Amino acid sequence: MTSEIDRSMKNIPSPLPAAEVVDSGRRNLSGWQYWLIAAIALSASIFHLYTAAFGLRAAMYQRSIHWMFMGSLIFLIYPVSKSRPRDRIDPWDWVLAAMLAGGCLNIIFNWPEIATREGIPTTSDIYLGIMMVLLVIEAGRRAMGWPLPIVAIVAIIYALFGPYFPGMLAHGGFPVSELAPFQYLRTDGIFGVPLGVSASFIFLFVLFGAILSVSGAGQFFIDLSLALTGRSQGGSGKAAVVASALMGTVSGSSVANAVTTGAFTIPLMKKSGYRPEFAGAVVAAASTGGQVMPPVMGAAAFIMAQFLGISYWDIVVAAALPATLYFISIIAMVHFRAGKRGMKGIPLENIPKAGKVLKEGWHLIIPIITLVVFLALGYSAVKAVFWSIILMVGVSWLGKKEYRMTPKRTLQALIDGGLGAVEVAAACACSGLVIGVIGITGIGLAFSSFVISLSGGILPLALFLTMIGSIILGMGVPTTAQYIITSTLAAPALFQMGIPLMSAHLFCLYFGVLADVTPPVALATYAAAGISGSNAIKTGFTALATASAGFLVPYMFVYNPHLLFQGNILQIGLSFLTALMAVIGLSAAVQGYYIAPLTLPERAALLLTPFLLIVPNTSTDLLSLAILVGVFLLQQRKAALRKKASPHSGSINT
């Protein structure tokens, strides 16, 4: 049972060697302490499956039960600091877990009475509110590190000392006796929309991912990626991108995605001839892109649907083309880098046969397809993922014996799912504190006014300021929290300037996510660098260049809503083709290679194409096409002349 315990405690989405995994900071428990935690995680999974099947509880009940499980687990599986022993639970952590559970139980058992006195808190409401706010911040610190808790602390300070802030930031201030109960006993604070989405949608998708992993999906995705791309130029790098994209469809974390796929694909890329920093950069950039890849999108899509008041399926459809463009750009980066270094595909004997891979793992695709079909047919996300989970357990018996969901493996998957959801729950609860302050103080309106004022009403400048703000606010913060904070503060400003809400929210999501590959706080890059053995800062800047299309695509869909599947099929198709030209031109320019090494004028011309294509215009579209075709023909002619002059020359290798 040791390997299963280790994997559960470290929240690894698929069975990988422990040496390949970045330290999660969790305890490695055994004996009765492990079984107690396993029982809590199992109970959480059973509760969420039950409510998915028979109906969600009322908001405060569903959310408080969810946070009671998740918050208690955080104090039991994360030590207060890295210096504490990891083979046992400290006495004070039992106390903190019990205190958090007590705060949730107070709501569960006394909610009817609490609801009747809304706005008139008792002394116990105030003290319990203070306790819960402090516990949420500490739980967030343990599960995610300091960035998000610091944002929450700053928000609390801002709410308490509003009169002392300058200019438009100033407000009347709120005493602790008012702020603490507001955060604790309202659906605007700790138990607000973010935690509500975690309690209803996100937990089930994490559980779905855990069951997929136990069923062998991780290895299946990697093998399928190799089979599809291994023979082409730079095949190992392309396989890494495809594997990260496939894993990203069900993964809720860019870091988890990076260590899961990177443990296999990074050594393969290095063996194929890629430098360590580029191998790590590709995996980091692709894994970060998994957070904007439907259907899961790092769990942000569920919250976006709630914020915008639209169906989850609408979000999935709108996000499809931008995510596709992003991954095409990374594949192009890999392709051009391989051409520049004279690299070929993976030897045939090392490539799995596509037919064999699909024959052994085709059943793993069924639940994912079922999930998408159910969403397209109008089923709620809760029902869609519930039935996909049930189907996943059933179809696992069609695969290899070692991956079948026997009672023991099903039990382990339920435990893994319960443990895997704690970080997202912590992010949502901590984000709730920030959302509560934004709501009670009106800082969101002030921030929007500030952006509009600073930009002078000039949209490109407002977009640039929003981009910088989203990256800064997203640094070191999980995807869900990144989106919640950036969209709440920045999206209203863009909306006031005439940008549709969907475009504004996706714009904020993209740049919040890109913080994971933006130095100095680039968590996905550091995780990948740890596996590749490369310099973290150098890998970070390489990843930033590799993910550069991610900085282009959001501007394109803001100015061209056809990229969000708005309009007729001809408009959407033409918009996608022009955007495709932009990312190809950008990728070639960044790598300095097209079909041959680029001269400085050729590189400058290709670098110009994405900027010409941001705003839809027939003249600039045709000019960009002429540049791409012209550089291609020019390089082809030069290559033919070189070949004629030196017919026995070898491959290009720079």
Does the residue 650 lie in any domain? no
State the DSSP string of 38-67.
HHHHHHHHHHHHHHHHH-PPPHHHHHHHHH
pLDDT of residue 252: 62
Rounded Cα distance between 347 and 364, Å, is: 27
Domain that holds residue 188: 2-194
In 3D, which of 587, 585, 589, 608 has the Cα closest to residue 599?
589
Report helix, strand or coil for 593.
Answer: strand
Measured CA to CA in angstroms, residue 503 lies from 201, 210, 273, 473 at distances of 23, 31, 40, 19
At 23 the pLDDT is 58
Token pair 């894994």: residue = 287
How far lies 256's CA from each of 9, 146, 261, 420, 500, in Å?
Answer: 14, 19, 9, 10, 32
Question: How do residues 210-235 score in pLDDT, each as one tens digit?
Answer: 888 888 887 888 888 888 888 888 88
Q: Is residue 419 part of a domain?
A: no
**SS3 (DSSP) at 652:** coil
With CA atoms as reference, report the closest residue to 560 among 506, 511, 521: 506
Q: How confident is the model at residue 256 (pLDDT cuts 50, 70, 90)?
A: confident
pLDDT in tens, 294-317: 876 767 888 888 889 888 889 989
In a domain, 292, yes or no: no
Structural domains in the chain (count):
1
Q: What does 376-422 look like in DSSP terms, one character per residue?
A: HTT--HHHHHHHHHHHHHHHGGGS-GGGS--HHHHHHHHHHHHHHTH
Tens of pLDDT, residues 625-647: 999 999 999 988 877 777 777 65
> Percent of the chain beyond pLDDT 90?
51
Q: Report the DSSP beta bridge partners of residue 597.
A: 593
Distance CA 390, CA 372 (A): 15
Q: Kindly report the average pLDDT of the chain as a whole number.
A: 87
Output the pTM of the full model: 0.81
Q: How do residues 545-579 score in pLDDT, each as one tens digit?
A: 999 999 999 999 999 999 999 999 999 999 999 99
Res 131: pLDDT: 98
Is 44 inside any structural domain?
yes
Over residues 139-167, the mean pLDDT reads 92
Q: Give domain status of residue 549, yes or no.
A: no
pLDDT, residue 345, reads: 78
Round to whole Å and give the CA distance between 67 and 435.
Answer: 17
Any domain includes 126: yes
Q: What angle do CA 324, 326, 329 make, to 5 degrees?
A: 110
Asked if residue 95 belongs to a domain, the reply is yes
Within-domain flag for 72: yes
